Amino acid sequence: MKLKQVLVAVIGGLAVSIAGCGGNSASTSDSGGSPVPTRSKAGDGPVTLSFMTFNAAMKDAAALWNARHPDVQVKVEEVPAGIKGGYDKMRAAAKAGNPPDVAQLEYQVIPSFLVDGSLADISSYLPADAADRFVAWTWAQVSLAGGPAAVPLDQGPMGLLYNKKLLDKHKIAVPSTWAEFEQAARALRKADPKAYLTTFDPTDATWLAGLAWQNKAKWFETSGDAWKVSVDDSATKEVLEFWERLVKEDLVKVEPVYTPAWNADLQKGVVASWITAVWGTGTLASAAPGGSGQWSVAPMPQWRAGEKAAGNYGGSSAAVFKDSKHQKEAAEFAYWLATGAEPQELFIEKQGAYPAALSAQGLKVLEQPSKYYGTNFFPLFAEAGAHVDTTFRWGPTMIQAFNRIADAVSDATNKKGSLVAAISAAQQQIVHDIEAQGLTVG
């Protein structure tokens, strides 16, 4: 008896839901690998662009655009963050011939999408001098295959966020070189056995890259038709030797960041600083809301006194897909996201993002002091951004390469072994991976 009732209820529910869904899916632009363009010519009715992103603020940005462009409407599709499957989704969609029109891609994955062959060359849709309107290295990142395939949105120049209250309490000066950093770490451990100067996260290979980047490491290069891989070059080894020592002597806390456990450590003064990009200011403020007024910002410690080198950590672009039916409109939207005052102000205020577009770097909102950090930190990061090595390049298989690096370095860290040996092992694996793609490594 009950089974019948359940059956009726479910089938009824099914019918209602399908009716509802049917109505809904008719209004989205693509619902399957349909090869025939449905709305391709101007004047044929409003164009709908699909925009895949993992950034929640993009919805607000799209709303701003939609209000001003009734003929080109943007529909935001939220996907999980890149490493959690977002990029897999985009690539699978592109392979099926049904990609979004625009997607937010971090710089390090652009080569992978280029190798897939899924991005469009949008140079004809952008202003002729577009290349000059962006920070040089970011433009280089989006133009690897000739013309630009994406518009740089923001960048991630690195600096040091530190718990001023805690360091002052133990009379520890803010380090300006890595040697001073090591001394400060020792001093803090001595003063408070429960506290650590900073976290070392061996699982975050993008961050490790940023550290190596500061020391002018050159992980990937191209030479004619061949790739060159040197993830274990001497600059990187120097960096890893340093951190290996800190780990072995228990001077830094080893744990993944962006976790509730790390949040708790920040709040409780167990971890006293974070070497991160400009957008990390927002992350830390959310992670430790009670720390307002206690934290401050300083430049990244240097390898040689007096230098101003900085690494880059993160930063993304808005890319246009080759199979998009509306490449022109998509490119215009991407360009607006990167250079428009309104969207950029939104990202700056909400997320502490720092623009890649030169025009946006003059926005008034960048002059607001931050309540949390007691000062306006943007000039510091702007300065750092000007000293990011512009010749750093990513390789064709970064997500997998990051796995190799993170796994090797994490394993060595857990065993308190040699990080230098680990990066060399990762180097071998990465070369092998690239060759397995059918590419040549010189």
CB of 130 to another protein, least distance (A): 20
Residues between 31 and 70 with contacts to another protein, criterion CB under 8 A: 31-34, 50, 52, 54-57
User: Would you count residue 365 as binding another protein (CB under 8 A)?
Assistant: no
Binding mask 248-287 for another protein (x = CB under 8 A): ------xxx-xxxx-xxx-xx-x-----------xx--xx
Q: Of 13 and 46, which CB lies nearer to another protein in the complex structure? A: 13
CB of 399 to another protein, least distance (A): 4
The backbone torsions φ and ψ at residue 35, rounded to the nearest 5 degrees and listed phi first, read: -80, -15
Q: Of 116 and 389, which CB lies nearer to another protein in the complex structure? A: 116
Nearest Cα to Cα of residue 135 among 387, 320, 373: 387
**Residue 76 to residue 236: CA distance in whole angstroms:** 39
User: Would you count residue 141 as binding another protein (CB under 8 A)?
Assistant: no
Residues between 173 and 212 with contacts to another protein, criterion CB under 8 A: 201-203
Helix (H) or strand (E) holding 277: strand 273-277
Residues between 142 and 161 with contacts to another protein, criterion CB under 8 A: 144-145
Place of tokens 């900073």: 198
Q: Strands (DSSP E) along 283-405, which ranges?
A: 295-299, 316-320, 354-355
Residues between 312 and 341 with contacts to another protein, criterion CB under 8 A: none
Distance of CA 398 to the CA centre of its chain: 13
Can you list the pairs that 162-171 forms with residues at least 24 positions away whose Cβ atoms lie under 8 Å?
Answer: 162/272, 162/273, 162/274, 162/295, 162/296, 162/297, 162/298, 163/266, 163/269, 163/272, 163/273, 163/291, 163/294, 163/295, 164/294, 164/295, 164/296, 165/294, 166/195, 166/269, 166/272, 166/294, 167/272
Total number of residues that touch another protein (CB under 8 A): 96
CB atoms within 10 A of CB 283: 18
CB of 98 to another protein, least distance (A): 6
Interacting span for another protein (CB under 8 A) from 72-80, 233-241, 334-342, 371-379: 72-80
CB of 324 to another protein, least distance (A): 14
**Residue 120 to residue 46: CA distance in whole angstroms:** 22
Q: Of 64 and 179, which CB lies nearer to another protein in the complex structure? A: 64
One residue of 66, 69, 77, 218 binding another protein per CB under 8 A: 77
CB atoms within 10 A of CB 19: 10
Q: Of 21 and 173, which CB lies nearer to another protein in the complex structure? A: 21
**Residue 126 to residue 136: CA distance in whole angstroms:** 16
DSSP 329: H
Return the structure tokens found at 34: 């349909």
Q: Of 111 and 311, which CB lies nearer to another protein in the complex structure? A: 111
Residues between 93 and 122 with contacts to another protein, criterion CB under 8 A: 93, 95-98, 100, 111-112, 114-118
If 0-12 CB within 10 Å is exposed, 13-18 middle and 19+ buried, where does residue 83 land? middle
CB of 131 to another protein, least distance (A): 18
Q: Of 388 and 408, which CB lies nearer to another protein in the complex structure? A: 408
Interacting span for another protein (CB under 8 A) from 91-99, 166-174, 211-219, 376-384: 91-99
CB of 33 to another protein, least distance (A): 4
One residue of 64, 66, 73, 88 binding another protein per CB under 8 A: 88
CB of 65 to another protein, least distance (A): 18
CB of 105 to another protein, least distance (A): 14
User: Would you count residue 368 as binding another protein (CB under 8 A)?
Assistant: no
**Residue 52 to residue 91: CA distance in whole angstroms:** 11
Q: Of 145 and 191, which CB lies nearer to another protein in the complex structure? A: 145
**Residue 77 to residue 56: CA distance in whole angstroms:** 10
Residues 241 and 211: beta-carbon distance below 8 Å: no
Q: Of 198 and 397, which CB lies nearer to another protein in the complex structure? A: 397
One residue of 244, 396, 427, 431 binding another protein per CB under 8 A: 396
User: Would you count residue 390 as binding another protein (CB under 8 A)?
Assistant: no
CB of 308 to another protein, least distance (A): 28
Residues between 403 and 442 with contacts to another protein, criterion CB under 8 A: 403, 406-407, 410-411, 413-415, 433, 436-439
The packing angle between helices 398-414 and 419-436, to 10°, is 150
Residues 121 and 149: beta-carbon distance below 8 Å: yes
